[in-house]
Amino acid sequence: MPSYLVPEILARITRLGFRAHRVVEGSISGLHRSPLHGLSAEFADYRQYSPGEDLKRLDWRAYARSDRHVVKRYEEESNLRATLLLDASRSMKYGGSRSKLTKYEFGATLAASLAALCVRQRDAVGLALVDQEQRTWLRPAATQAQLAKILDVLQRSVPDRKTELGAVMNRVADQISSRGMVVIISDLLTDLDSLYAGLGRLQHQGHEILIFQILDPDEIDLPFKDSMLLRDIEGATNSEGKADELQVEPWAFRKAYQAAMNQFVEDVATRCRTAAIDHMLLKTDQDLGFALSSYLHGRLCNAGLKRGGKIGAQNPSAVPMEGA
Amino acid sequence: MLLLAAPMLAGLILASVPIIIHLWNRRHFRLVEWAPMKYIKLTVQTNRRRMRVEQLLLLAVRVLVVALLFIALARPAFSRTGFGAALASRSRASRVILIDDSMSMGYVTDRRSAFDRAKDAAARIVSSIGSQDAVTIALSTRPDQPLVREGGIEESNKVLREMQNASPAEAASDWPSVFKQIDSYVSGASHLQRELILITDLRRSGWGAGVTAQASKWAGQSFDLKIVDVGSRETANTVLSRFEQEDSFALPGMPVKLRASIRNDTNAIVRSATASLEIDGQSRPLVLPDLPAGQTTEVPLTVSFDKAGDHVLKLTLPNDAMPADNTRWLVIGVRPEVRIAMIDGQVGSRAFESSTDFVQLALTAGLDLWQVNRRADSEWQRVSASDAQLTNADVIVLSNVASLSMQQTSVLEKLVSSGAGLMIFPGEQFDPGAYNQNLYRDGAGLLPGRISRANESSPNGLAIDSVTDSPLAPMSKLAPEALSRIRPKKFLSVAIDEKGKDPNSRALAHWNDTESHPAVIEKQFGRGRVILWTVSADRQWSDWPIDPTYVLALRSAASAIVRPGHIGTNFTAGEAIAYPLETGQVVQGPLVTGPDQSMAPQPLSILDQVLHYASTTRAGKYTLSWKDEAGATQSRTLGASFNGLESNLQPISESEITNLLSPIAPTFVHWGAAAGNESVAEKGREIWRNVILGVLVLAAVETVLAMWVSRER
């Protein structure tokens, strides 16, 4: 049984930590900002006073300066509830000659590393293995036992079904009650429109979404030289009911294919960037520890700069308070 | 297109190698389970059609490169005649090359005759056939004398080189008999595969249904027939269709009438042409009348000879596309005298008492060369058939001879049958019953009709019948009044053509009486002619002997029935010489010298007292010579003219020949005027270098195309 928990990777990312950019709802005080105000001493912003509200929360000084009734809000720090959503469909089974790991193994290693990091910083972490449906669901918890469960699930799982991430995403959204972080680990070779719809719903619920798109370098470069018979890895059939196959000479359209794949990745990245979703492309021949530490480092540096957008809908613009 | 190394074409099978590789590659691939199928399909579908076209183009170029390489190795040569395809070598074969050398092959177009092209084609064929083939070469006018029999290429080439200056014969090709002779070569061939290559000009003359039987025989064998057409389809020609002596004999100093017929088979009238008449080697011009297009013009000629003997005449028309039928040869045997033997049944002691006196006077008055030998009937009773005076007579006259014995009848029949003329006059001693019994014999004898009785009615003159070649033809030009004066007191009543048994008898003149009794009757008997006069030769039955018309009648009749010249003096090229010797004539070492002076005299064969010689395909003068009993050299000259059948230049179509030769299907190859003039040495232009150049260019194209097709896209 493979062990997806790699100490070298953990060693590289432990000191960086894994922090949420958005506010998260937690039951205990922690590293992450909480949506609940007033329990912390750190000022957050102003909001319009609503009649009937407790007058003791009215900021009289502000009233004296601006003759406006506003209430002062404070940020609350809480623990993180991260849900790792790992694509365990058959397409993740592919592993090229240049990679030591299949996409699933690579994704599982990533998931294990993130889970371990979360547990180490006492954040709750859960796991959902999905393909065309949700196969495994581990409710987020911040215990060592949870980490062991996650590792166990990852090791036992075999990617052997079709992908339908969009539909699964809605179910996951139903199961996550409080705002937190949803980390999607997938090759995204699925129906993107339904995926984007699912992501939009998660965002609407206030979750911060991270997407790790994992592709094999073969899938990006198409480096083959021989004549090939390509068969759909998920067993799709054509209109005649036969296995969906295609005999090709890769050199004859390699550049066109590479352009199409680059366009695909670029489209996903653009869409995520627009929706303030972190998107990171990982190739399975990459050093995961290095790639993950670079990402976490960058995330740490950019903490607080993120502005929330929403995928699939216009983002509501925040009206800055004059004098805030 | 000709392939000089056709077996190399077997390598063409390797042209399928690129196709096999292509198919093999299509079946050998690496199977990969692939995730981003959507993006593969997206790009493949855009390029698939273009890629397929490019790959097929590349495949075609590769196949073409291999195919052209082996085509180049097969040494292709380009030939406009299509000879290459027709003579494509196969297994070893016995090949009979039959060259048509009939006269029509001398037809010239573009300054080359069909025979010239035939020689070229034959040389070309010999150079094309395999070294292990057996070759027989024969000419159609003498197929029994093959030039090469089952020989090799060297021998064949040598013969063909020797033939280079040869011209076609003046004889005709009779294809049924030629094929029959060729069959002996085909049947006796050493190889199982037999082939007859007939090189001809495809003229209709000589072809007939007779070839079908031979073709049927060949159909069951491993036999191929190829017909090489070397002729043109032009027929314009002027032919000297006839050149003959009209008079039956010639005497020294006597004008001899000749007749020439010229047929103008062109589309234009020939005006003021000048022919050449050569008599005994001396040529003189002869201005011809206008020769209308498509018609035959008769040209009468008169010549005379000073000396007796054989005189050779050669009439030549102006040159045209076929020179061979412009010349005819005519040998005229001028006899020293005309010998007349008269048997007189009533010999008198005084002038004009004998019944033949008037006849002798009429035939010899003023004609020194008409020699009469007269004897009484009683003298003839004692002589035998070997009587030289009688047997050498050109005309025999029986006058008032009472009757003839069977022996005498037999002698006469033999003499007349051999060509002598016989005139019979009745008289008072004439016994019709005896004549009917021995000389008529129900039409089988010499008499032209059954004699019934002497008619004593007096007719009102003589009427000359208008019949062809009538001995009395000059009489028909006389005024009717002159003939009406001929009124016999008595004449023989003769019934001719009794029961239709004797078609050779005819009346030449009738008496002008109520029953129109025959007056002069003629019968063709063997080579000779018999004339029966119904009045006596003297004045016993009529006063005609003292009438001037009597002289004319007798002279014209005697001239017409004079023993003709020697048989076989003039003949057609291709026919065998059959020169009959006289009875008892002894010849030693007979030889013949033909028109081809380069040939040594050839021996003649003697069979049944006839000299034979078969190789007479050339027109011209043939001289027969031998030594007689006394050892003295004797000679006769014969003249051979072209075979007029060959002047019919009407072409025969390939389909007609195919039908005639059914069930075998001949292959036709054209080496005619339309196919162009190719020299013997020209085998066609070899184009393998061009093909190799094409291979190199295609190889370069293949390289560029392969790089272009396999570029990263």
| Cα–Cα dist B159/B155, whole Å | 6
| SS3 readout for B168-193 | CCCCCCCHHHHHHHHHHHHHCCCCCE
Most confident of B52-61, B129-138, B381-390: B52-61
Q: In this predicted structure, what is the pLDDT of residue B585?
A: 83
When pLDDT is averaged across residues B72-94 and rounded to a whole number, the result is: 66
Q: What are phi and psi of B79, to 5 degrees?
A: -140, 135
- Which amino acid is residue A68, in one-letter code? R
Closest chain B residue to A103, measured at CA: B35
Q: Tell me if A219 and B26 make a contact (CB, 8 A cut-off).
A: no
- Statement: residue A124 has pLDDT above 90: no
Q: Which of A226, A239, A253 to mutate to test the interface with B (most CBs of B within 10 A)?
A: A253
Please answer whether residues B143 and B614 qualify as being in contact, where contact means their C-beta atoms are separated by less than 8 angstroms: no
State whether residue B113 is helix, strand or coil.
strand
Using one digit for the tens of pLDDT, what is the confidence trace for B686-707? 788 888 899 999 999 999 998 8
Burial (Cβ within 10 Å: 0-12, 13-18, ≥19) of residue B640: buried
Question: Which residues, listed in sequence order, are joined to residue B313 by a DSSP beta bridge?
Answer: B279, B330
Please answer whether residues B609 and B630 qualify as being in contact, where contact means their C-beta atoms are separated by less than 8 angstroms: no
* Min Cα–Cα distance to chain B from A214, Å: 12
Mean pLDDT of chain B: 87
| SS3 readout for B512-549 | CCCCCCEEEEEEEECCEEEEEECCCCCCCCCCHHHCHH
Q: Is 0.95 surpassed by the pTM of this model?
A: no
| Cα–Cα dist B517/B459, whole Å | 9
Which strand (E) or helix (H) includes residue B430? Answer: none
In chain B, residues 48-107 whose CB comes closer than 8 Å to chain A: 51
Q: Tell me if A91 and B35 make a contact (CB, 8 A cut-off).
A: yes
- Statement: residue A314 has pLDDT above 50: no
- Statement: residue B382 has pLDDT above 70: no
* Min Cα–Cα distance to chain A from B36, Å: 7
Smallest CA-to-CA distance from B588 within B549, B541, B625 is with B625
Tally A–B CB contacts below 8 A. Answer: 90
| Cα–Cα dist B345/B635, whole Å | 40
B24 in contact with A at a CB cutoff of 8 Å? no
Q: Tell me if B30 and A226 make a contact (CB, 8 A cut-off).
A: yes
Q: Which of B25, B31, B43, B47 to mutate to test the interface with A (most CBs of A within 10 A)?
A: B43
Residue B682: both structure tokens together: 């020209």
In percent, the amount of chain B with pLDDT more than 70 equals 94
Q: In this predicted structure, what is the pLDDT of residue B422?
A: 95
Residue A95: both structure tokens together: 């592993």
Going by pLDDT thresholds of 50, 70 and 90, the confidence category of residue A161 is confident
HSE on the CB side for B446, CA within 13 Å? 31
Q: In this predicted structure, what is the pLDDT of residue A21?
A: 60
Which strand (E) or helix (H) includes residue A308? Answer: none
Neighboring chain A residues of B26 at a CB cutoff of 8 Å: 227, 247
Please answer whether residues B303 and B279 qualify as being in contact, where contact means their C-beta atoms are separated by less than 8 angstroms: yes
Residue A125: both structure tokens together: 């972490």
Residue A305: both structure tokens together: 């700069």
HSE on the CB side for A119, CA within 13 Å? 23
State whether residue A209 is helix, strand or coil.
strand
* Min Cα–Cα distance to chain B from A77, Å: 43
Cβ neighbours around A94 below 10 Å, total: 24
Closest chain B residue to A191, measured at CA: B38
When pLDDT is averaged across residues B607-616 and rounded to a whole number, the result is: 88
In this predicted model, which residue has the larger pLDDT, B638 or B84?
A: B638
- Statement: residue A319 has pLDDT above 80: no
Q: In this predicted structure, what is the pLDDT of residue B684?
A: 53
Nearest by CB to residue A255, choosing from B44, B51, B712, is B712
Nearest by CB to residue A251, choosing from B26, B33, B710, is B710
* DSSP letter string, A20-57: -SS----SS--SEEES--SSSSEEEEEEE--TTS-GGG
* Min Cα–Cα distance to chain B from A234, Å: 7
- Statement: residue B673 has pLDDT above 70: no
Q: Tell me if B36 and A252 make a contact (CB, 8 A cut-off).
A: no
When pLDDT is averaged across residues B516-538 and rounded to a whole number, the result is: 93
HSE on the CB side for B699, CA within 13 Å? 10
Burial (Cβ within 10 Å: 0-12, 13-18, ≥19) of residue A277: buried
* B449-455/B491-496 β-pairing: antiparallel
Question: Which residues, listed in sequence order, are joined to residue B674 by a DSSP beta bridge?
Answer: none
| Cα–Cα dist B335/B483, whole Å | 33
Using one digit for the tens of pLDDT, what is the confidence trace for A63-73? 898 888 888 87
Question: Residue B437 carries which DSSP code?
Answer: I
Going by pLDDT thresholds of 50, 70 and 90, the confidence category of residue B290 is very high
Smallest CA-to-CA distance from B532 within B430, B625, B406 is with B430
Least confident of A12-21, A179-188, B235-244: A12-21
The angle at the Cα of B173, spanning B172 to B177, to the nearest 5 degrees, equals 130
In this predicted model, which residue has the larger pLDDT, B517 or B597?
A: B517
Helices B210-219 and B175-187: crossing angle, nearest 10°?
20
Neighboring chain A residues of B33 at a CB cutoff of 8 Å: 93-94, 230-233
Using one digit for the tens of pLDDT, what is the confidence trace for A254-310? 888 999 999 999 999 999 998 889 899 999 999 998 898 888 888 877 765 554 455
Q: Tell me if A187 and B35 make a contact (CB, 8 A cut-off).
A: yes
Please answer whether residues A92 and A187 qualify as being in contact, where contact means their C-beta atoms are separated by less than 8 angstroms: yes
Please answer whether residues A87 and A169 qualify as being in contact, where contact means their C-beta atoms are separated by less than 8 angstroms: no
CA dihedral B617, B623, B624, B626 (to 10 degrees): -140
Q: In this predicted structure, what is the pLDDT of residue B678?
A: 45
Going by pLDDT thresholds of 50, 70 and 90, the confidence category of residue B287 is very high
Q: Where are the alpha helices (DSSP H) in B388-490?
A: 388-391, 406-417, 432-435, 480-484
In this predicted model, which residue has the larger pLDDT, B503 or A107?
A: A107
Sheet (strand A228-232) strand order:
A245-248, A228-232, B30-34
| Cα–Cα dist B571/B579, whole Å | 11
Q: Tell me if B29 and A187 make a contact (CB, 8 A cut-off).
A: no
Q: In this predicted structure, what is the pLDDT of residue B236?
A: 92
- Which amino acid is residue B607, in one-letter code? L
Neighboring chain B residues of A264 at a CB cutoff of 8 Å: 36, 39
When pLDDT is averaged across residues A177-204 and rounded to a whole number, the result is: 89
Q: Tell me if A233 and B33 make a contact (CB, 8 A cut-off).
A: yes
| Cα–Cα dist A78/B430, whole Å | 179
- Statement: residue A26 has pLDDT above 90: no
When pLDDT is averaged across residues B334-339 and rounded to a whole number, the result is: 92
Question: Which residues, listed in sequence order, are joined to residue A47 by a DSSP beta bridge?
Answer: A71
Q: In this predicted structure, what is the pLDDT of residue B682?
A: 42
Using one digit for the tens of pLDDT, what is the confidence trace for B559-591? 999 988 777 789 999 898 988 887 778 889 999
Which strand (E) or helix (H) includes residue B343? Answer: strand B338-344
Which strand (E) or helix (H) includes residue B639? Answer: strand B633-641
Q: In this predicted structure, what is the pLDDT of residue A110?
A: 93
When pLDDT is averaged across residues A5-18 and rounded to a whole number, the result is: 79
Q: How many residues does chain B have?
A: 713
| Cα–Cα dist B384/B404, whole Å | 13
Burial (Cβ within 10 Å: 0-12, 13-18, ≥19) of residue B659: exposed
Its ipTM equals 0.76
In percent, the amount of chain A with pLDDT more than 70 equals 82
Q: What residue has token string 């006269």?
A: B103
Nearest by CB to residue A230, choosing from B28, B40, B713, is B40
Number of continuous H segments (helices) and E segments (strands) in chain B: 16, 37
In chain A, residues 153-212 whose CB comes closer than 8 Å to chain B: 187, 189
Q: What are phi and psi of A177, to 5 degrees?
A: -80, -50
| Cα–Cα dist A176/B645, whole Å | 120
Smallest CA-to-CA distance from B74 within B1, B7, B136 is with B7
Residue B187: both structure tokens together: 């049947």
Closest chain B residue to A232, measured at CA: B34
